[in-house]
Chain A
Amino acid sequence: MMTDLQETALHALHVSLGAKMVPFAGYSMPVQYPSGILAEHRHTRGQAGLFDVGHMGQARIHGTDAARAFEALVPGDIQGLEVDRTRYTQLTNDSGGIIDDLMVTRRGDHLFLVVNAACKEGDYAHIAGALPKDCRLELLEDRALIALQGPAAIAVVEGLSPGLSKLGFMSLADVTIGGIACTVSRSGYTGEDGVEISVANSAVEGLARTLLKDARVKPVGLGARDTLRLEAGLCLYGHDIDTTTTPIEAALAWSIGKRRRAEGGFAGAATILAQLANGAPRKRVGILPEGRVPVRDHADITDPAGAKIGTITSGGFGPSLDRPIAMGYVVAAQAGEGAPLGITVRDKKIPSKVARLPFVAHRYHKDR
């Protein structure tokens, strides 16, 4: 079945750079450029990769008590955020499952949200339906989003917008880059230091071309975005988390602050707080398969006796480790680091072990 794919504001640039375009979440997106996924991955770890993430949803919630109202939908501490600080959290359902994961920033007079492309329509309906009358959801459909990630990313943007290097991790600022008004967040999805830049659709191609003029910057597609985030142990919605997994099972308990644990008051709190207290029946873990065979999502995970104890949710090749890596859910009793597992690939069992996440250490900016 053919469906009309949407295009981001950088579509023409991708095509001119020779990208291979694929359908993703209803959009035509670059999966790779001519240099290929391995080279793009390594370039991001070594210098700076430029990603188009304009398919993601950007929105604002207005209202004097927006932070308090939004806390009914997410387990993250939003009221405790200082102005222009960002929190990673999840929209949860009444049984504690994850509707989407998202970034929430507390601005002066509103909350700024960035949600997943494939989930955004559902998220907006869910949020709009749950907000009280004095709060209003505004979709920012005229905004593009790009990410610049890697050890050289901050030096690149500092050169174009002096002072940006002082921006703290998970903080946001309104700045101009090369004369273009931007909202810059020091965050990302690769495990590297870097920024995500929200900018008007009409200005994003000029900004991207300015960034690409820097020899340290190369365009990077969704293929390497996936290998980078997998090495960084970060969840991909629809694979590692969905409406059947709770934040506790997904090993995201770190994203639920002390006050929210004590007070509850969010969708699914009964299940999530009980799992926090008593443990969850299963857990998302890192997995290192022996040998060279990549294990992919949906593969069965077995215990040493051969009984099925879980499923791979993300798997493939980790270019920085030059070996296969994976994540998946296993029963709690087998979730300890080093626990022996088997992964079924084409009717063969690949001996594997539970491994510590992330596979590649995060290199986020640490505020002094």
Chain B
Amino acid sequence: MASLKYTDQHEWVAVDGDTATVGITDYAQGQLGDVVFVELPDEGKSFAMGDQAAVVESVKAAAEVYAPISGEIVEVNEALNGKPELVNEDAIGDGWFFKISIDDETELDSLMDEKEYREFVKGLG
């Protein structure tokens, strides 16, 4: 897999050709705790970078998941409907949320790489 990109809202982005797979980071799932529900976007829906695209609910709280780049939803992870705990068990693998088309490749340049994200999380204390 290509190296991951990250947002300051704790989404990860894996680029594969002209689409990107999106999920929440392991840090984010750890902060949320046990995930009990994920509200996924409709396939075919378009988002601008930074729009709210999904909601993840843990026992304690609901958190918004934002589109890390502009594009159209091409696939969602239906497995999360039956097994939302996949987000906890494998946040950057089986716990992915959706795949989105890459409308503007330059947006990817504004995201953090692995090292930058690690520093960012460290700065959160």
B-binding residues in A (CB < 8 A): 31-32, 36-38, 223, 227, 292-294, 296, 316-317, 319, 324, 346
Contacts and interface: CB of A to CB of B under 8 A. Distances in A.
B60 interface: yes
Nearest to A222: B60
Contacts of B36: 292, 294, 317
B34 A37 contact: yes
Interface string B90-118: 00000000000000000000000000000
B57 A223 contact: no
Interface in B17-51: 33-34, 36-37, 39
B57 A38 contact: no
B59 A223 contact: yes
Contact of A227 (B59, B61, B81, B88): B59
A297 to B, nearest CB: 11
A294 B33 contact: no
Given A32-B33, A223-B33, A346-B55, A37 B60 contact: yes
B79 interface: no
A307 to B, nearest CB: 25
A346 B39 contact: yes
A37 B39 contact: no
Interface of A is mostly: mixed
B37 A36 contact: no
B121 interface: no
Given A37-B60, A316-B60, A294 B37 contact: yes
Contacts, number: 39
A38 B59 contact: yes
A293 B60 contact: no
Contacts of A32: 33
14 contacts: A32-B33, A36-B34, A36-B88, A37-B33, A38-B34, A223-B33, A223-B59, A292-B84, A293-B57, A296-B62, A316-B59, A317-B37, A317-B59, A346-B55
Contacts of B60: 31, 37, 223, 316
Interface string B54-85: 01011111100000000000000000010010
A32 B59 CA distance: 11
A137 to B, nearest CB: 35
Contacts of B37: 292-294, 317, 324
A317 B37 CA distance: 9
Nearest to A39: B34
Contacts of B62: 294, 296
Nearest to B61: A296
Contacts of A324: 37
A221 to B, nearest CB: 10
Contacts of A38: 34, 59
Contacts of A292: 36-37, 81, 84
A38 B58 CA distance: 10
Contacts of B33: 32, 36-37, 223
A296 B84 CA distance: 18
**A32, A292, A324 pick with most chain B CB within 10 angstroms:** A292
A317 B34 CA distance: 10
A294 B55 contact: no
